[in-house]
Amino acid sequence: MNTGKLKDFLDKKVDEYNRPFFIQDDPISIPHLFTKKQDIEIAGFFAATFAWGTRKGIINSCRRLFDLMDNDPYNFILNLEEDSPEMLTPFMKFAHRTFNASDLFTFFNFLKYHYSLKNEPSLETAFIQWMEPGDATIENGLNGFYSYFFNDRIDFEKRTQKHIAAPFKKSACKRLNMYLRWMVRRDHRGVDFGLWKKISPAQLICPLDVHVARVARHFGLLREKQTGWAAATDLTANLREFDPVDPVKYDFALFALGSMEKHG
């Protein structure tokens, strides 16, 4: 398939799947349960963090978590008190695959630190404060976010570090890149939120897992053999040839094709 035909094919797949019907069975359905900006940010952050395993399992874990927060996550975080263990008791047995209550409490502490102690109005600043003018991609923002999340003010177990990826660790950062897609892309199609304005869609990196990588290699969009940061940036650079302003829109096409191939 030549470049022009491939672009046309992928554009049609984007148009087919970048629609509200896609939301229902996808983890992005979780932040769509909320309307307040900070609730959407927090819900999206957990939904993306839990995004491994079956989509049904991811959604169920998120619903359990937010039910425990009375479906008011931002107020829950703001009112969380370290000397009030009764607030955390309902979460003691929470788990999603290898993500357990200890990990959850670290995430709570980070969110409390950011929104309350740092008095930040949005999670966007947890990424953009590390970026430099002219950054072509979100790489510095992701590396900075990792250091910011595991800062000296927050107690955490070493095991929790595996739940936050970073480019300097050579990770593809699939889940964080997916989260950033949700928060940053703004095409008014009813799927991604476009809440964050200081990160450009052009700076995003395509979420990459083994299924997307398989499809990308099939179409000659990916040469890297390892599914890590180098592969994610290589794929995104090739997608920019099709759309330099919004390359990550092709995540809809690659994910859909990968999912169909997986189940077909």
d(CA 166, CA 141): 9
Of 39, 141, 4, 163, the residue nearest 95 (C-alpha): 163
Predicted confidence band at 225 (pLDDT cuts at 50, 70, 90)? confident
Residue 148 lies in a domain: yes
Whole-model pTM? 0.95
Return mean pLDDT, the chain: 94
d(CA 248, CA 178): 9
The span from the first CA to the last CA of the chain, in angstroms, equals 22
Q: What is the mean pLDDT of residues 140-152?
A: 95
Which structure tokens are listed for 77? 């975080």
Q: What is the mean pLDDT of residues 162-186?
A: 97
The total number of structural domains in the chain stands at 1
Exposure of 88 by Cβ count < 10 A (0-12 exposed, 13-18 middle, 19+ buried)?
Answer: middle
Q: What is the mean pLDDT of residues 205-232?
A: 95
Q: What pLDDT is stored for residue 81 in this prediction?
A: 84
d(CA 135, CA 7): 26
Q: What pLDDT is stored for residue 124 in this prediction?
A: 98
Residue 18 lies in a domain: yes
Q: What pLDDT is stored for residue 86 in this prediction?
A: 80
Q: Quick: pLDDT tens for 244-263.
A: 999 999 999 999 998 764 43
Q: What pLDDT is stored for residue 82 in this prediction?
A: 67
d(CA 253, CA 17): 7
DSSP labels, 235-246: HHHHHHTT-SS-
d(CA 97, CA 195): 29
Q: What pLDDT is stored for residue 201 in this prediction?
A: 98
Residue 78 has pLDDT above 60, yes or no: yes
23-27, 42-46, 53-57, 78-82: which range is least confident on average? 78-82
Residue 211 lies in a domain: yes
Q: What pLDDT is stored for residue 110 in this prediction?
A: 96
Q: What pLDDT is stored for residue 100 in this prediction?
A: 96
Range of the domain at 195: 3-259
Predicted confidence band at 13 (pLDDT cuts at 50, 70, 90)? very high
Q: What pLDDT is stored for residue 260 in this prediction?
A: 60
Four-point Cα dihedral 163, 169, 232, 130, nearest 10: 80
Q: What pLDDT is stored for residue 67 in this prediction?
A: 98
> Mutual orientation of helices 139-149 and 174-184 as an angle, nearest 10°?
110
Residue 264 lies in a domain: no
